[in-house]
Structure 1
Amino acid sequence: MRIEKLTTHIGAELVGVNLADAVHDDALFRVIRVALLEHKVLFLRDQDFDRATHVAFAERFGSLEDHPVAGSDPDHPGLVRIYKDENSPPDFYENAWHCDVTWREAPPLGCVLRCVACPPVGGDTMWANMAKAYDDLPAHVKQTIAPLKARHSIEASFGARMTEAERHALKARFPDAEHPVVRTHPETGEKVLFVNGFTTHFTNYHTAENVRYGQDYAPGGANLLQYLIRRASIPEYQVRWRWQPNSVAIWDNRSTQHYAPTVRRMERAGIIGDRPF
């Protein structure tokens, strides 16, 4: 097996590896897990395995979660089929930089995504290193955001195309989650910038020090949030992957964001994570 870095700050390709072997090979799986923590997203080509193997490999990281909107494959709980063609409308939650499912109290640890079919061009996915995006912030910004928490909403994203009744029912099932703006990675100890396309606002920015009379009560908060969200769009923090059928991406959802294309047929297993702190 070779581990070939793709950029300075994020992403590596595993060459000479069959993920199906890692279902039963503890030593191989340990190497893959260590590489994931170091590079944050791993890529592999020519992984022609079935759905049962896909699920079995992902479950080595932990239990899998269902998706309340996309749903799971009926024969393989936890495996989400993302099938979209040229006529599928753009989705806010995919065609924007985001960290998966942060509207849950415990967002996913990570995901294993396999390409079933994709266009020859125009279907790339990008990932961004949000630990590096935090590290490079000015000291005064780090000081400002250290105590802040933010709200993450499924209603404001997946619910946007629903009727009012459906949207309210969705929010009742999944109330907005509140997470720290800067989370600590539970395995590496890294500080990670943890706001994204699902984040709607800071919940504790409106303090006496930040009150501004005669205008929106916290315009500084809104501006600061957008500044932080845009950190994912800095090219130096990114890696870009051109899909081929049977290509696989494994990413650490706790320390990255990604931007997905509309046209593709993918199957994804999301691993249950823990509550950010």
Structure 2
Amino acid sequence: MQQAISAMEERTRAHSPNENWPFTVTQATPAIGAYVSDIDLREPLDEPAYLALRRALIRYKVLFFRDQDITPAQHVAFARRFGKLEVHPVLTHDPDHPELVVFDKSDKKRGRENIFHSDVSWREVPSMGSILRCVECPPTGGDTIWVNMAGAYENLPEDVKARLEGLRAVHDLMPLFGAALSPEQRVAVRAQNPAVTHPVVRTHPESGEKLLFVNEAFTTHFANYAEIAGYRIGFDLKLGEMDLLQYLFRQAAAPEYQVRLKWEADTIAFWDNRATQHYAVQDYYPAVRRMMRATVIGDRPV
């Protein structure tokens, strides 16, 4: 595994020259993440800046911006530059901007996002990216971790990669979000958001990278495991499926694929949901942590 990780680091360095960016980019870790400075997100992005940010996002997978005191309207305008925005069917919205999800945690409401996931992977057309701003941060704690899922796939053993060929997985919002809904709400939300299937390994539509696309929050099972693995004895089939899925979930926990951000007020993180997973660390209760997120609609995984 160390040889594979070293190879990944070499490629990261080779593909990270001092490009003529219209802003300053500082790489965060060899595997994932970069800090972007000398840019004011209150101002509309011109075409060169937009294209450069999109290239940086594809290259580094998550971008961090400090000291961006933007309004909710400016947040929406910046996010909309990258595509259409979704309205989440369950989470709380900003009253004036339904495209903005509000995460408002305190001693009265504990955070529940502490599981590796890719935002809205349960949609038939999942997210391209998410843009999260810290409005109010706890004095310490409340970090977020992002994971490079291209690296996670690349370093899988070849025999495991062979087992994943043609395999599809089911993604569902209800196991995570259903518990907070009334029975009537569950019926209504389920009617509008059925479970969907996506390839276990998807191809990034812009970089061409192969990406491991299952996550512990929303992936419930494989849709066609028996067809791919073959059937012997019932418990072999089910245990084999569970073991493989749990093995794939655990790849996100490897520090070699991760970057960790310590939030400050007016920090913004912009990440590629196709190529990453993330985990919000819930170690700050009962302190206040208030965040706002816009989510850009993406493309159907293939």
**TM category, shorter:** over 0.9
Superposed CA RMSD in Å reads 1.5
Q: Does the 8 Å contact 1:116/1:265 carry over to 2?
A: yes
Q: Which residue of 2 aligns with 1:238?
A: 258
Give the percent of matched residue pairs that are identical in Structure 1 and Structure 2.
Answer: 52
Deviation of 1:214 after TM superposition, in Å, equals 5.4
For structure 2, the residue ranges without an aligned partner over 5 or more in a row are 1-22, 283-287
Distance 1:149 1:171 in 2: 21
Which ranges of structure 1 fall in alignment gaps of 5 or more residues? Answer: none
Pick the aligned partner of 2:143 from 124, 128, 146.
124
What amino acid maps onto 1:157 in structure 2?
L
Q: Is the 8 A contact 2:122 2:218 kept in 1?
A: yes
Number of residue equivalences: 274
Counterpart residue identity of residue 35, structure 1: A
**TM-aligned CA deviation for residue 208 of structure 1:** 7.8
TM-score by length of 2: 0.87
Residue 84 (str. 1) matches residue 109 (str. 2): no
Which residue in the other structure is 2:4 paired with? none
Kindly provide the amino acid, as one letter, of the partner of residue 41 in structure 2.
L
Indicate yes or no: 2:265 matched with 1:265: no
Mapped to 2, the partners of 1:237 and 1:128 lie a distance apart of: 5
Q: Relative to 1, partners in 2 of residues 1:75 and 1:209: Cα closer, same or farther, differing over 3 Å?
A: closer
Q: Which digits, 9 at most, give the CA deviation of each residue in 1:127-158, with x for residues without a partner?
A: 00000000000111111012100001111110
Aligned twin of 1:14: 36
In structure 2, the residue matched to 1:99 is 118
| Partner-residue secondary structure (3-state), 2:274 | coil
Contact kept in structure 2, 1:99 and 1:258, CA below 8 Å: yes
CA–CA distance in structure 2, aligned partners of residues 164 and 128 of structure 1 = 35
Which of 69, 83, 91 is the aligned partner of 1:70? 91
1:54–1:90 CA distance, 2 compared to 1 (3 A) = closer
Partner of 1:199: 219
Which one-letter code corresponds to 1:254 in the other structure?
Answer: R
Counting only pairs closer than 5 Å after superposition, residues 1-277 of structure 1 correspond to structure 2 as 1-21=23-43, 23-91=44-112, 94-196=113-215, 197-207=217-227, 209-213=229-233, 215=235, 217-262=237-282, 264-277=289-302
Letter in 2 for 1:79: L
Which structure dedicates a bigger proportion of its chain to helix?
2
Contact 2:145 2:278 in 1 (8 A): yes
